[in-house]
Amino acid sequence: MKTLTINGKSHSIEAQDDMPLLWAIRDIIGLTGTKYGCGVSQCGACSVLLDGQVIRSCSIPVTYAEGKEIVTIEGQSDTLNYLREAWVDGNVPQCGYCQSGQLIAATALLDSNANPTEEDINNAMSGNICRCGTYPRIKKAIYKAIELKNK
């Protein structure tokens, strides 16, 4: 039996030790907002926060996340909510599939860097692929969220 704390709620689950956190979240706990994209940390669709740090949950064994605070796209935080507002304002998503990971990656960025430069944004977000190509809008929305946050 393993215990995971996700979005402030505790979940006791049966999972093999080497199961990536992604599949424990999706298939066992049933939170499907976190997405599978590549399985090898190349696309960022599976991004979640682990004690505030962004990680690719497809490549982290579930045991590593025990005892840590996990935040997924279903969760809440001030930064995440500002980003959501900015995402809606900028009508960012197309298919929407990668956006969970994009929002989580942006949350980690703004939590660690209140006023990132364009280069900081590129560095923080280039691990997240959007096949629809919403990058210009994601970038604009990040600037907008900073504005909302600093107000």
- Interface with other proteins, residue 57, by CB under 8 A: no
Q: Which of 2, 29, 35, 108 binds other proteins (CB under 8 A)?
A: 35
Q: Is 133 in the site for other proteins (CB under 8 A)?
A: yes
CA distance 57 to 36: 9
Residue 136 as a binder of other proteins (CB under 8 A): the answer is yes
User: Which of 73, 109, 145, 146 contacts other proteins by CB under 8 A?
Assistant: 73
Which among 49-57, 107-115, 123-131, 143-151 is the span making contact with other proteins, rule CB under 8 A?
A: 123-131
Handedness of CA 147, 83, 56, 17 (dihedral sign): positive
What is the smallest separation between the CB atom of 115 and other proteins, expressed in angstroms? 18
Question: Among residues 10, 30, 150, 151, which is the contact residue for other proteins, using CB under 8 A?
Answer: 30
Q: Which stretch binds other proteins (CB under 8 A): 39-47, 63-71, 109-117, 143-151?
A: 39-47
CA–CA separation, 15 and 122 (whole Å):
36
CB of 103 to other proteins, least distance (A): 6
Query: Backbone dihedral region of 45: left (phi > 0), alpha (psi from -120 to 50 degrees) or beta?
Result: alpha
139 binds other proteins per the rule CB under 8 A? yes
- Which tokens go with 54? 């962004």
